[in-house]
Chain A
Amino acid sequence: MQMFCTSLKPKTKQGQGADLNIMTARKITNPGAKSLFDLGVRCKPRSDTTRGMIAAFDSMLGGTIFDAAQASSDDFKTSDQNPFGDECHLRSSRNPVGYSKGARDPKYHGQAMRSAMKAEWIMSQTSEMDGLWRRGVFEKVLRSSLTPQDRVFISRFHYKIKRKGGEFDKC
């Protein structure tokens, strides 16, 4: 069974099937309110929320409840090593050389090498290949050892700038 859109006319009233979202609800219940704060929504300190979630989850699993007040200082020590390995660099805190907000993704290798972000692309290529080698995705084979029936596919990098909230994240 599939659901189809029966009409493309804009639906403005609730009886006509208009979406009842949080903004609609706000307008109906409290027309004077301009934000969630005006509706009485208060944000709890994050640590309280997290602690509550951990306690509830632990009790559900039947384990012990983590109490931050009784924890020793060693429990909060973090390792100097990068837990995600060398592959993961925390590069989101800076914009790479040559990056601009309107920068477009290169379509192929030549375009990437001519772009202002050339150095960043080369670094990304190297880290991508290193990651694949580390995971044992492929092995080297002599081209001369292939039979005439074997097919060799071409491969290429797919260049993509990943953004978070409009800001550069990684590429």
Chain B
Amino acid sequence: MRQKGEDGVHDYDDAFSPVPAASRFRTILSLATQQNMFTDHVDISQAFVQGKLLPRDGHNGKVYISSPPGYDEDPLYVYRLLKPLYGMPFAARAWHTTMSAFLTKEGRATVGFEQSMWNVTIDGARILRGPTSMIL
């Protein structure tokens, strides 16, 4: 599903979501090779809809959408979004904020100044993770 949003009319205030650069990814692989670590990749399916809609997202903190063409719905009803949907400008930021809040609560820290890479140690195994995917 896609949705049109307009800038300048307070549909969204911030859409920034940090993404690790290619060089950071290569650094992870280099570190893994150096320290004889296993590397694996986990993709989180439907990541964005698992995030939490932020209080200031949408118009007056609420986002309403009409049902898409082809889906039978009573025209008297609209849908109020409770979670970010693909195509929304702030969906990536909402997911990043949700995941960051969880990892911070768990006592994890980011890698240096890179806000989208986390250093997690579980039972002696170090995990480095990115925005919507994890590199173990």
Contacts and interface: CB of A to CB of B under 8 A. Distances in A.
B76 A143 contact: yes
Contact of A149 (B5, B60, B78, B81): B60
A24 to B, nearest CB: 20
- Interface extent on A, as a size class? 35 or more
A96 B2 CA distance: 25
B50 to A, nearest CB: 7
A156 interface: yes
Contacts of A142: 76-77
Interface in B12-70: 38, 46, 49-50, 59-60, 62-70
Contact of B65 (A53, A61, A153): A153
B83 A141 contact: no
A153 B70 CA distance: 16
Nearest to A150: B64
Contacts of A153: 3-5, 63-66
A142 B66 CA distance: 11
Interface of B: 1-5, 11, 38, 46, 49-50, 59-60, 62-71, 75-83, 85-87, 123-125
11 contacts: A138-B80, A139-B79, A143-B77, A149-B59, A150-B59, A150-B60, A153-B5, A153-B64, A155-B1, A155-B3, A158-B1
